[in-house]
């Protein structure tokens, strides 16, 4: 059933569906669709990401499984969907497949943000290092969680409005853009883009 949906959507968008791109002479797939409940599916995701780093990798599941969902995202799936929504979401993506941003990493569920202001959560281990996610005036902002002055954990400092203060030496930074507001730090902190899609919050970077 999933295959027929993929074939139908691909045909509408003018895409060719193949089972093994290495056997067809096709330059490289734009989209790879993987059934995450098949044997060794995660290894398949890893292999696809390694072989085709620019492709959009879509995984689908028929039974809700949050652990599998997160594991698939962290091993290279750009999008994980319930099988029932596969055709709808894939149709939307194929319209803009050339605009897909490759480097993205799942941080948390959108539902876990509700009611939190200021610091939402700290992430010690991401592909770009320690990060802190903040909610200010209804917007989500993600900053490198290391003060550029002496390496303190920035998110351990107080937050007032859109300003975070380093707990070690008092440097202040604008949460919305990472700019330095007060020393002794001489540099801003890195700010990273955040997107929310299908109920998940993702870090994205170039």
Q: Residue 45, CB half-sphere, CA atoms under 13 Å: how many?
A: 26
- In the predicted model, what is the mean pLDDT of residues 132-140? 91
Task: Answer with the residue of higher pLDDT: 98 or 136.
Answer: 136
Instruction: Answer whether residue 98 shows pLDDT above 60.
Output: no
Which pTM does this prediction carry?
0.57
Domain range summary for the chain, segments of one domain joined by +: 2-102, 108-204
Whether residue 5 has pLDDT greater than 80: no
* Environment class of 44 (CB within 10 Å of its CB; exposed 0-12, middle 13-18, buried 19+): buried
How many angstroms separate the CA atoms of 91 and 94, rounded? 5
What is the spatial distance between Cα 139 and Cα 158, in angstroms, rounded to a whole number?
18
Structure token digits, residue 81:
């969907």
Q: Evaluate if residue 206 carries a pLDDT over 60.
A: no
Task: Name residues whose C-beta falls within 8 Å of residue 103's C-beta, 6 or more positions apart in sequence.
Answer: 127, 204, 205, 206
Please give the share of the chain, as a percent, with pLDDT higher than 90: 30
Domain 2-102: give its CATH superfamily. Answer: Response regulator (3.40.50.2300)
Instruction: Tell me how far CA of residue 75 lies from CA of 18, 47, 79, in angstroms.
Output: 23, 10, 11
If pLDDT is split at 50, 70 and 90, which confidence band does 141 have? very high
Architecture of domain 108-204: 3-layer Sandwich (2.102)
Could you read off the pLDDT of 56-77 as tens digits, one per residue?
Answer: 888 888 887 888 888 888 788 8
Q: Is residue 130 pLDDT above 90, yes or no? A: yes
List, for residues 162-177, the tens digit of each pLDDT value.
Answer: 999 999 999 999 998 8
> Which regions of the chain does DSSP assign to beta strands (E)?
31-35, 56-61, 79-82, 104-109, 118-123, 131-136, 139-144, 159-160, 163-165, 172-174, 180-182, 191-197, 200-204
**The tokens 């070690």 sit on which residue?**
168
Per-residue pLDDT, 31: 83
């Amino acid at each position: 059933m999933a295959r027929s949906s993929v074939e139908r959507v691909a045909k509408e968008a003018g895409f060719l569906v193949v089972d093994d791109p290495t056997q067809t002479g096709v330059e490289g797939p734009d989209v790879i669709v993987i059934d995450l409940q098949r044997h060794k599916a995660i290894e398949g995701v890893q292999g696809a990401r390694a072989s085709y780093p620019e492709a959009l990798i879509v995984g689908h599941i028929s039974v809700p499984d949050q652990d599998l969902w997160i594991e698939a995202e962290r091993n290279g799936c750009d999008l994980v969907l319930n099988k029932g929504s596969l055709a709808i979401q894939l149709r939307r993506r194929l319209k803009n497949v050339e605009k897909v941003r490759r480097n993205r990493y799942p941080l948390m569920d959108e539902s876990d943000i509700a009611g939190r202001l200021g610091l939402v959560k700290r992430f010690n281990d991401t592909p770009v290092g320690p990060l802190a996610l903040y909610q200010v005036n209804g917007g989500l902002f993600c900053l490198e969680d290391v003060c550029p002055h002496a390496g303190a954990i920035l998110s351990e400092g107080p937050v007032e409005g859109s300003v975070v203060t380093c707990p070690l030496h008092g440097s202040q930074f604008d949460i919305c853009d990472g700019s330095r507001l007060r020393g002794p730090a001489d540099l801003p902190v890195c700010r990273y883009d955040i997107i929310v899609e299908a109920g998940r919050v993702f870090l994205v970077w170039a």
